[in-house]
Structure 1
Amino acid sequence: MKKHSFQEFTLKPELLQIIEKLQFKTPTEIQAKVIPAAMKRKSIIGQSQTGSGKTHAYLIPLFNQLREDVKGVQFVITAPTRELAMQIHEEVKKMLRLAQKEKEITAKLLIGGTDKQRMMDKLKETPQIIVGTPGRILDMVKQEALSIFSASAFVIDEADLMLDLGFINEVDQLLIRCKSDVQLLVFSATIPEKLAHFFKKYLENPLHVKVKQELSPETMEHRLIPVRHRNEIDVLMQITTVIQPYLAIIFTNGKEEADKLYAALNERGLNVGLLHGGLTPRERKRVLKDIQSLRFQYIVATDLASRGIDIKGVSHVINAQLPKDENFYIHRVGRTARAGMEGTAISLYQEDDIRLIDKLEQKGLPFIFTDIADGEWREAKHWNKRNLRPKTSSNAETEAWKHVRKNKKVKPGYKKKMKQEQEKIKKNLIRKEKRGR
C-alpha cells in the first residue's frame, strides 16, 4: 500500500506544525482516506476499528476549515459516552494549545453529570467548537442556551454504540436543528440495519470509507483456557500468578457479573478497579483518575471499556466470560497491542463458547490452547468438536439405543429388527440436531 504524507493534503501551514508537534509521522489508513475528502466538504461514513486514528481523521480537516474571525458554533462533535467526549475534548484543547489559539477559539464540553445552570452560564459566550453527549447538547439547545444552526460540520463518533445505548433519537433531534447542507462525518465500527436507515435520511451520496478490520496485530497473542468444572475465580487468580501486567482489563458480559467478580477478586486480596455504565458519573470519573495514576493493576469492566472509553497502557485483556459476538471479541482485545506494542489476550472458555472460537479460528485468529500448572503456562489440547458438541452423529448412536423397545420374549431375527429401529431413531436424532444448529 502506498505511503502517504500529511504534506500532500494541502493543509494550512499552522496545522502542519500542530501535526509535527503531535509527533504524527505518516497518516494512518483511515486518515489518508478521510482527510482529503473531508477537506472538500464531503459527507463521509468511516468504518474502522478503535485505535485506527479516526479522531484525528476528522479533527485535522475540521481544524483546517476553522475560522477564528467567525463567531458562533462552527462544528459539533457527538460521542456516546461522557468519557469518550472528555477524551475528544482533551484532544481538541491540545490542538488549540499547540496552535496557541486558546484565547481566539473556544471549545466547550457538554456532558451529563455536571451542573446544568453553570453550563448554561458558560455558554453565554458562544463557543466555536462543541464536544459532548447528544442528550446534554440537545438539553442546552432546548433551553435556548445554545444554537447549533450555524455549524458547518457535525460529527457522530462510535455511531453503532450510539444506537446500542439509545442515543440515536437525540442525534436525530440535533440534526433537525442544523442546516440542511451540514457536512456529516460519521464513524462506526459496524453498520447495523437501523443505522443504515438513519444514514439514508441525512446523507446524500456519502463517501463510504472502510478500513479493513485487522483481526489481530502480530504483536498480540491469544490464549484460551478451558474452565471445565473449576471455579472461574480460581482460574483468574491462577492467571495473576503467571502474568505481570502493566494494566489488565478483565471483561465480563454485564454489570451484575462485573460487580460479583469485582467483589470476589477484592475478597481474594487482588487490587482491582471497577468500571461499567451503572456507576455514577462521579464514581466513573474517580475510577478513571485512579487508573491514570496507576493505582490499579487490574480493572473489571463491561464492554463500555472496549469502545466507549480509551484506556492507555493496557498490556493484557482477560475475558472472564467470552462475548457472544465475534465483533465484541475484536473490540475487547483491541484495547491492547496498540501502536506497535506487545499485548496478550487471555480468555476463559466453556463448552458454549466453541461456536464463537470456531468462527474466529476460521477468520484466521491464531489461538494458543493453554492451561496453568505450578505457576507456569502449560500447553493444552485443542478443543474437540466431536466430544464437546451434544448429540452429534458420534453420540447419536448411544442416544438412539436408549429409545429402542426391548421385547421380553425373544423371537427369531430380533437383533436385526432392533438394529433397524436403532438406525431409524439415530437418523431422526441427527436430523433434529442439524435443524437446531
Structure 2
Amino acid sequence: MKSENFKRFELKPFLIEALSEQGFTLPTDIQERLIPAIRNGRDVIGQSQTGTGKTLSFLLPILDRIDSQKDEVQAVITAPTRELAGQLFDELKKLLNFCPENEQIHAKLLVGGTDRARAVDSLKVQPHIVVGTAGRMADLIDDQALKVYTASMLVVDEADQMLDMGFIADVDKVASRMSEKLQMMVFSATIPEKLQPFLKKYMTDPRHVQVEPKHVTATKIEHRIIPLRHREKIKFVVDIAKSINPYLAIVFTNTKEQADEVADAMYEAGLNVERLHGGLQPRQRKQVMKQVKEVKVQYLVATDLAARGIDVKGVTHIINFGLPQDLDFYIHRVGRTARAGMDGIAFTIYEDHDQQAIEKLLKRGVKFTYYDFKQGEWTQLDRAPLGVPGKKKTPRSGESKTTTAKKPAEQKRTGGKAVAKAKAVKPGYKKKARFKQAKEEQKLRRKKKK
C-alpha cells in the first residue's frame, strides 16, 4: 500500500517508499502539524508523550531538506542517553535504506562509552547528519573533529529529561557552535519552567504543538495494583514474576541499587533475567539491549532510564516495584506494553504512603483493578483496599441511587465490611467536661467561704 496521505507533504519519493514499506499510511496528529512547519524552516516545540509518532515528525522533514551533494554536517540530533540516541539512529537508518545511490545521505552515531579516537578518525569525511549524546558531540567539537558550524538544523529530543540529567549545558555548547541561522526543534513530554531560558536563547516564535493522547495510556493495558501489606517486598515481586510467565516483562525500580537487588533475587530464583541501569558500563548496557531485542531474556529489571523512548517489542507485562516520584514516568513505564494493538498488564505493588500518588493517577484517567496475590493465587478485590481510593459502590437492588459511598478516609476495614470510622472525640466528652468544670467552680466557692 502506498502512503498516499504522506504525499501531501511533498516529501522525496524515497521517504514515501520507506514509509510504505514500514506500513505507515496515515500521519499522526503531531506529524500532521509539525512536518510542514519544519520543512519551512520554522522553530518548533513538540510536546507529547511517547508513542505519538514524534520521531518521524522531525526525521522526515530533516531528510527531505538534506542536500546530499554537500559533504558537510547539515543536521544535529541530540538525545539524553546512549540508548535513546541509538534508537533514533536505528529509525533514521530504516529511512536511509531506501535512499537512491546517486543521492546517498550519510549519518553518524556519536555517543559516549565508545572509542573516541575511532570516532575522530571516522569524521575525516563529515556526515550529513549526526545523532548522539550532546556530551560526546561537544568533546568532538572541541577536538575540531566534528564541524557543526555548517549545520542549521538542531533537534533536542526528550528535552525535560536532558534538563533533569544536567545535559542542557552540553546542548547549549553544541548549539552555540552551529550556524547563526539555526532552526531548533525541541521535543519533550513536559516543558519545565527551568527550560525556558534555553528555549528563548535560540528560538524565534516557535510553533508549539501539544498533543494529548486520546487515552492517558493504551486502552488494552490492565492496570493492577496489589497491596504489599506486611510482606517482604523483593520476595513478593519474585513471586509475582514467577506467576505470570511473560513473553517479556520489564520490572521497574526507582534506583539502580533496587534494580540490582531485585535482579539478583530473580536470578537466584531461577528466572531468565537481565538488568539495565546507569551503573552498568556502556558495553554491558549494549549487550543487554541486544539480548532483549533478540528475545533471549524473559525478565528485564530496569530503572527509568529504560522507560522513555526505548522501543522494545513484545513486552507483555510491566511490574512496578514501586510507584515513581514523577508520575509521568508511570505513563512512560506502562507505555512499553500493549503496543501495536496488543494486550498488556501492568502490576504495581503499593504501600500506604502511595495513596496520594494513586489518587493523582486516577484523576489522570488511569483505571485500576484491585488484586491481591497470596500463596500463588490471584484474587480480585471487589473494592479498593484500605487507604486506596476506588469507585463508588454500585447500589444494590432496592437501594437509592442517590446514596453516596463513604470516602475511603472515613472508612476502616472491620470483618470485611466498610463501617464509619470512630470519631476522634469520644461520645459524652462535652458533658463530662462541663461536669468537671462545675466541680472545680464549686471547690473555689467553698475556699472563699472559709
Using the size of structure 2 for normalisation, the TM-score is 0.85
Q: Distance in 2 between matches of 1:175 and 1:126?
A: 17
**SS of alignment partner, residue 144 of structure 1:** coil
CA distance change for structure 1 residues 66 and 232 in 2, over 3 Å: closer, same or farther? same
Q: CA separation in 2, counterparts of 1:83 and 1:14? A: 27
**What is aligned with 2:363?**
362
CA distance in 1, matches of 2:154, 2:328: 27
Q: CA deviation at 1:329?
A: 0.9
Separation in 1, partners of 2:115, 2:375: 54
Give the corresponding residue for 1:303.
Answer: 304
Q: How does 1:208-357 map to 2 (within 5 A)?
A: 208-213=208-213, 214-307=215-308, 309-357=310-358
Is the partner of 1:216 in helix, strand or coil?
coil
Q: What does residue range 29-428 of structure 1 map to in structure 2 within 5 Å? A: 29-101=29-101, 104-213=104-213, 214-307=215-308, 309-373=310-374, 375-380=376-381, 381-385=383-387, 397-398=423-424, 414-416=432-434
- Give the whole-Å Cα distance in 2 for the aligned partners of 1:64 and 1:418: 88
Q: Distance in 1 between matches of 2:102 and 2:157?
A: 24
Q: Secondary structure of 2:290's match?
A: helix
Distance in 2 of aligned mates of 1:9 and 1:387 = 53
Q: Structure 2: how far apart are the matches of 1:211 and 1:145?
A: 38
Q: Provide the secondary structure at the position in 2 that maps to 1:270.
A: coil
Helix, strand or coil for the counterpart of 1:132?
strand
Cα distance in structure 2, aligned partners of 1:292 and 1:54: 22
TM-score, reference length from structure 1: 0.87
Structure 1 residues 418 and 368: CA distance shift in structure 2, 3 A: farther
**Partner residue in 2 for 1:17:** 17
How many Å apart are 1:262 and its aligned residue?
A: 1.2
In structure 2, give the amino acid aligned to 1:198.
F
State the secondary structure of the residue aligned to 2:328. Answer: helix
Q: What's the % identity of the aligned pairs?
A: 47
Corresponding letter in the other structure for 1:231: E
Q: Secondary structure at the match of 1:9?
A: coil
Larger CA Rg, structure 1 vs 2: 2
Superposition deviation, residue 136 in structure 1: 0.5
Whichever residue aligns with residue 296 of structure 1, its letter is V
Task: State the AA in 2 paired with 1:249.
Answer: I
1:4 deviates by 9.2
Q: Partners in 2 of 1:85 and 1:57 — Cα distance?
A: 16
CA-atom RMSD in angstroms: 2.6
The answer (yes or no) to whether the contact 2:250–2:300 under 8 Å persists in 1 is yes
Is contact 1:4-1:32 (8 Å) kept? no
Distance 1:4 1:68, change over 3 A: closer
Mapped contact 1:236–1:320 kept (Cα < 8 A): yes
Counterpart code for 2:251: I
The 1:152–1:101 alpha-carbon spacing in structure 2 relative to 1, beyond 3 Å, is: farther
* Cα gap change, 1:177 to 1:224, in 2 (>3 Å): same
CA distance in 1, matches of 2:175, 2:410: 49
1: CA distance, partners of 2:174 / 2:220 = 42
**Residues 80, 308 of structure 1: 8 Å contact kept:** no
Pair 241,418 (structure 1): closer, same or farther in 2 beyond 3 Å = farther
Note closer, same or farther for the CA distance 1:51–1:387 as it changes in structure 2 (3 Å cut): closer
Q: 1:215 to 1:363 in 2, by over 3 A?
A: same
Aligned length: 406
Query: How many Å separate the matches in 2 of 1:268 and 1:326?
Result: 30
CA distance in 2, matches of 1:45, 1:169: 19
Equivalent pair of 2:50/2:335 in contact (CA under 8 Å): yes
Question: Helix, strand or coil: the match of 1:348?
Answer: strand
Q: Distance in 1 between matches of 2:135 and 2:270?
A: 40
Q: Is the Cα–Cα contact under 8 Å of residues 262 and 300 in structure 1 kept in the other structure? A: yes
Cα distance, 1:15 vs structure 2: 2.1
1:312-357 Cα offsets, whole Å, 9 max, x none, are 2211111011112321111111111112221111100000111011
**Quick one: structure 1 residues 152 and 387, their matched pair in 2 at CA, closer, same or farther if it must change by over 3 Å?**
closer
CA distance in 1, matches of 2:169, 2:151: 19
The one-letter code of the counterpart of 2:303 is T
**What do residues 36-87 of structure 1 show as CA deviations (whole Å, max 9, x unaligned)?**
1111111100011112211111000011111111221010100111111111
Change over 3 Å in CA distance of 1:61–1:17 after alignment to 2: same
Q: Is the 8 A contact 1:271 1:298 kept in 2?
A: yes
CA distance in 2, matches of 1:245, 1:388: 36
Post-superposition shift, 1:103? Answer: 8.0
Inter-CA distance 188–389: structure 2 relative to 1 (3 Å threshold): farther
Q: Which moved more, 1:200-209 or 1:287-296?
A: 287-296
Per-residue deviation at 1:367? 0.3
1:389–1:286 distance in 2 versus 1, CA, 3 Å: farther
C-alpha separation in 2, matches of 1:103 and 1:35: 21
Give ranges in structure 2 of 5+ residues lacking alignment: 388-406, 413-419, 439-450
C-alpha distance in structure 2 between counterparts of 1:395 and 1:417, whole Å: 27
Q: Indicate the larger mover: 187-196 or 287-296.
A: 287-296
Cα distance in structure 2, aligned partners of 1:63 and 1:254: 38
Q: Distance in 1 between matches of 2:436 and 2:222?
A: 52
Q: State the alpha-carbon separation in 1 of the partners of residues 163 and 72 from structure 2.
A: 29
Using the TM superposition, give the Cα deviation of residue 361 of structure 1 relative to its aligned residue in structure 2, in angstroms: 1.1
CA distance in 2, matches of 1:246, 1:102: 43
